[in-house]
Amino acid sequence: MTLLEAKDLKAYYITKSYGIERTVHAVDDISLDVNTDEILGIAGESGCGKSTLLRVMFGIIRPPLQLIHGTVAYRSGDRSLDLLSLTDDEYRQIRWKELSYIPQGSMSVLNPLRRVRKTFWDFIDTHRPNTTRREFEDLVTGHLSDLGLPAEVLDAFPHQLSGGMRQRVTIALATILKPRLIFADEPTTALDVIVQSGVIDLLRRIQAEARNSLVIVTHDMGIHANLADRIAIMYAGQIIEEAPAKQIFGNPQHPYTKYLIHSLPRIGDKSHRISSPGRPPSLMVPPKGCRFRDRCEQKRRICREERPLLVSIGENHKVACFLAVKEGAHAS
């Protein structure tokens, strides 16, 4: 069942300096669904627009980012709400209660001048204003215990916690109201491999126990392999392949996806890892046709002349590539 449907999204960064307007096509005509009780991974190189896409899907659109076109339909009970057309007061009724967001970097959430307990209290008091102190203590300590976090973290300042512990506290804050849909933007950034594993295990456990949905953005394909049910591959502001994780890793169709998979290190394999040649195009002046064409060793003339649409090539498998589209494939 579809929980959230993003359709025909275009969101650009528009700035003006010395009278010159510059436009970055960060999210350029993207449609993407999130189903109930699933983990959707969004993958791609740094700068491809995946974090911007996540913010747009969550409804965080602040200058210089501007929504050019599109809708994000979220199913709240028996209602379908366009998150991008709600007023601030309307969105406040569901934000954090039904939808939550884990940003890059825990220090962007935790106030360095306040103990963690105060941050939790302000959060609960805002969204459940009638909560008593006793109810608050029971709620927060119980939630921390469920996530394997000691109650002592409530009395600490953020700088007194390790990076991994701060990130776990941030995740606890984002999930304490039991949201149906969680957006996580590079939740393991700047963490070592061991701590990353702990954070990923925590996210997996939260999703499995609450049976909610999680959308996670990361450039780390290893994390997607261990966590995601379905993966959308993003390149230069567009989705170029979308499929269940097993198909993405077992039968990738887009040349860029193949490069991402083949670049992963493998235990015991000392052979040279294959990386994609060249660099991504400028999103200020996106090229005509396929945006991956200049890095693709299999490009054809049509790749320079026409943009490949995201089409179905099999059950739950879509790709935007003239090479991969088979006869009889239909547009999504």
Which residues, 6+ apart, have CB-to-CB distance to 40 below 8 Å?
32, 34, 213, 214, 215, 216, 228, 229, 230, 231, 232
Identify the pLDDT of residue 329: 44
Q: What is the total residue count of the chain?
A: 332
Distance CA 169, CA 144 (A): 8
Identify the pLDDT of residue 275: 65
Phi-psi region for residue 42, left (φ > 0), alpha (ψ -120 to 50) or beta?
beta
Task: Please state the three-class secondary structure of 266-304 as a single string.
Answer: CCCCCCCCCCCCCCCCCCCCCCCCCCCHHHCCCCCHHHH
Distance CA 234, CA 75 (A): 25
Distance CA 15, CA 26 (A): 13
Domains of the chain in sequence order: 2-98+179-263+273-331 (3.40.50.300), 104-178 (no CATH)
* Beta-strand relationship, 213-217 and 181-185: parallel
For every one of its 332 residues, what pLDDT tens digit does the chain have, with 9 covering 90 and above? 999 999 999 999 999 999 999 999 999 999 999 999 999 999 999 999 999 999 999 999 999 999 999 999 999 988 999 999 999 999 998 999 999 999 887 667 899 999 999 999 999 999 999 999 999 999 999 999 988 899 999 999 999 998 889 999 999 999 999 999 999 999 988 788 888 898 899 999 999 999 999 999 999 999 999 999 999 999 999 999 999 999 999 999 999 999 999 877 665 555 655 667 789 999 999 999 999 999 999 999 999 999 999 999 988 999 999 998 854 344 44
- pTM, two decimals, is 0.92
Q: Are 329 and 313 in contact (CB under 8 A)?
A: yes
Identify the pLDDT of residue 271: 60
